[in-house]
Amino acid sequence: MAEIKALIEGYARKIKGGWVASSSVVLITSCGKNIIVDPGCNREKLLLALDSEGLKTGDIDFVILTHSHTDHTLLCGIFENAKVLNSEEIYDDDMQVVHNGKIPGTDIQIIKTPGHSQEHCSVVVPTKKGIYAVAGDVFWWIDGEAQNVDVKKTDSGHPEELDMKKLAESRKKLLELADFVIPGHGKMFESKKQ
């Protein structure tokens, strides 16, 4: 069975003219593979978190990107040996192949969860403690905001891409599927199979 750990809890704070934000960074180990979901954009925090796990950037086999927003993807290239996965494909240098919803050699599943962006995906991880969903920005909160789980809560980011109907459906899907949800920004929570 896989093991999972949030290396960095995602944060998002509004400032004049923009944000101070980086995504949750999640480490999954499964079948001898080290997997990072959404490496974020804070290099110092990421390298310290990896070091605390006894890992170097070259120890990571796969990087999964839930969607293309820079606060989730900027540090993708620091993992020199990793294959990169998005909602549909595996990139191995310049070779692209379809992954069919599975990380090769593991029991980890990638599912499409559009709404925040059209290409958004989430990662489903079975563990001894239960099923985890690494949700990316299917769920996210601004620093200091109460983490009320509401499938119809308006997503304040990237309104030009936003499809609230699809986002609500994706939220429902993850809440029905998972025991624990790791949001793109905010604290992990129990889904209580809502």
pLDDT in tens, 119-129: 999 999 999 99
CA 138 vs CA 8, 129, 175: distances in Å: 17, 22, 11
| Sequence-distant (≥ 6) Cβ neighbours of residue 187 within 8 angstroms | 9, 147
Tens-digit pLDDT profile for residues 21-73: 999 999 999 999 999 999 999 999 999 999 999 999 999 999 999 999 999 99
pLDDT, residue 157, reads: 62
Q: So what's the pLDDT on residue 194?
A: 46
Range of the domain at 161: 3-190
Mean confidence (pLDDT) of the chain: 94
Give the residue from 122, 119, 115, 114 showing the smallest Cα distance to 164.
Answer: 115
* pLDDT tens for each residue of 77-112: 999 999 999 999 999 999 999 999 999 999 999 999
Q: Extract the tokens encoding 170.
A: 């994706």
Beta bridge partners of 33: 30
User: What per-residue confidence (pLDDT) applies to 192?
Assistant: 75
**Torsions phi, psi of 177, nearest 5?**
-85, -40
Q: Read off the pTM.
A: 0.95
| 165-186 pLDDT, tens digit each | 999 999 999 999 999 999 999 9
CB 50 within 8 A of CB 7: yes
Judged by DSSP in three states, 67 sits in coil
From residue 192, give the alpha-carbon distance in Å to each of 82, 125, 130, 152.
Answer: 34, 17, 12, 17
Reported confidence tier of residue 151, pLDDT bands at 50, 70, 90? confident
Q: Are 122 and 135 in contact (CB under 8 A)?
A: yes
Q: How many domains does the chain have?
A: 1
Which CATH number fits the domain that encloses residue 172?
Answer: 3.60.15.10
